[in-house]
Amino acid sequence: MDVRETSETGQKPHGCCTPSAGDRPCTCDLSANPVPRIEASAETLARMVRLPGGRFLMGTDSEEGFPQDGEGPVRAVTVRPFSIDRTNVTNRLFRQFVEATGYRTDAERFGWSFVFWLHIPKARFDELVEDTVRSAPWWCKVRGAWWSAPEGPGSNLLRRDDYPVVHVSWNDAVAYAQWSGQRLPTEAEWEYAARGGLEQKIYPWGDKLRPKGKHMCNIWQGDFPNHDTGDDGYAGTCPVEAFPPNGYGLYSMTGNTWEWCADWFSADFHRTASCDNPTGPPSGTSRVTRGGSFLCHKSYCNRYRVAARSSNTPDSSTSNTGFRCAL
Ligand SMILES: [Cu+2]
């Protein structure tokens, strides 16, 4: 078996969320993949928003939350002033990084990544799909799938320059950030940013999923996992600025792709940890992901809320996980 049946937290994979690669040798040693470190350029800084930081109420105790994920309890957390990218890192930006450094992503080095089944051409399904996750068969192990060939051999990024880069592992995200002179946001910074100045709202824009019937983020509509009606305009990822920004001017903090955070994941570490600029547990086996993706649906996982949490191993990559950087 090539892929894990359970996540690092011992739960079943979230299904519409992200499966873990179970057979990849550890690549946590980033020195195996050195990238030059530079100061963040004026261009990079221009893509970021400076936030004042301060105290905010993190997490949720609401009935919609998943207590087993460690979404609660609600606690007053303080973050320092920081900057964060307005959008996910795009294919265009990631290409600049790869061209400048020759960096090879974990998916390229291992030779495969996870692709959602409806995005694989039916006629080529048997040829391309090497394995599926038993408890979540819509996740397909596709040899030759990586950031520049998101649906496997024969696919490309044509007209997707402004889409979020996907099939990037936590290691890949950190390598990019080292090159751009940035870093990944801590989980607390991510949630502070996602809330956009609102207090204890479910979504980055408020409590109503579709105010006045309007789609505010890219998630699943229809019968998961068989039919995505694409009622929000997209049945996969969408351009990073396709939906309106939140109160801080940040795009797609929920939906579109999961976003890597710097922290190790724990369902309960924060219950006893300091709330002053928290950076997560000192060690762990999987890294935090936040925000949900185009695959999230209320009937299945409902993790496109600002308080929702998930995680994956640092060398895992999927077609619905990307990142944005902080500084
Ligand atoms: Cu989900």
Query: What does the pLDDT read at residue 11?
Result: 41
Query: What does the pLDDT read at residue 15?
Result: 55
Rounded Cα distance, 311 and 321, in Å = 10
> Distance from the CA of 14 to the center of ligand 1, in angstroms?
6
> Distance from the CA of 99 to the center of ligand 1, in angstroms?
32
Burial (CB count <10 Å: 0-12, 13-18, 19+), residue 232:
buried
Per-residue pLDDT tens digits for 299-316 = 888 999 999 999 999 999
> Distance from the CA of 305 to the center of ligand 1, in angstroms?
10
> Distance from the CA of 176 to the center of ligand 1, in angstroms?
25
> Distance from the CA of 299 to the center of ligand 1, in angstroms?
10
Rounded Cα distance, 262 and 177, in Å = 11
> Distance from the CA of 40 to the center of ligand 1, in angstroms?
32
> Distance from the CA of 232 to the center of ligand 1, in angstroms?
16
- Here the tokens at position 327 are 């500084």
Q: How many CB atoms lie within 10 A of CB 267?
A: 17
Q: How many CB atoms lie within 10 A of CB 269?
A: 16
Rounded Cα distance, 303 and 270, in Å = 19
Per-residue pLDDT tens digits for 230-266 = 999 999 999 999 999 999 999 999 999 999 999 999 9
> Distance from the CA of 295 to the center of ligand 1, in angstroms?
6
Rounded Cα distance, 274 and 272, in Å = 7
Helix and strand element counts for the chain (H, E): 6, 13
- Here the tokens at position 135 are 């408890």
> Distance from the CA of 227 to the center of ligand 1, in angstroms?
15
SS3 52: coil
> Distance from the CA of 7 to the center of ligand 1, in angstroms?
14
Spatial contact of 218 and 294, defined as CB atoms under 8 Å apart: yes
pLDDT tens by residue, the chain, 327 residues: 235 443 333 344 455 678 888 766 555 444 444 555 689 999 999 999 999 999 999 999 999 999 999 999 999 999 999 999 999 999 999 999 999 999 999 999 999 999 999 999 999 999 999 999 999 999 999 999 999 999 999 999 999 999 999 999 999 999 999 999 999 999 999 999 999 999 999 999 999 999 999 999 999 999 999 999 999 999 999 999 999 999 999 999 999 999 999 999 999 999 999 999 999 999 999 999 999 999 999 888 899 999 999 999 999 999 999 999 999
> Distance from the CA of 244 to the center of ligand 1, in angstroms?
21
Beta bridge partners of 227: 223
Rounded Cα distance, 317 and 198, in Å = 32
> Distance from the CA of 98 to the center of ligand 1, in angstroms?
29
The overall average pLDDT reported for the chain is: 92
Query: What does the pLDDT read at residue 38?
Result: 82
> Distance from the CA of 15 to the center of ligand 1, in angstroms?
7
> Distance from the CA of 137 to the center of ligand 1, in angstroms?
15
- Here the tokens at position 235 are 């049945």
If you count them, how many residues does the chain have? 327
pTM for this model (two decimals): 0.93
Angle at alpha carbon of residue 13, lines to 8 and 17, rounded to 5° = 110
- Here the tokens at position 45 are 């800084």
> Distance from the CA of 13 to the center of ligand 1, in angstroms?
10
What does R_g of the chain's alpha carbons equal in angstroms? 18
> Distance from the CA of 181 to the center of ligand 1, in angstroms?
31
Classify 15 in phi/psi space as left (phi over 0), alpha (psi -120 to 50) or beta: left
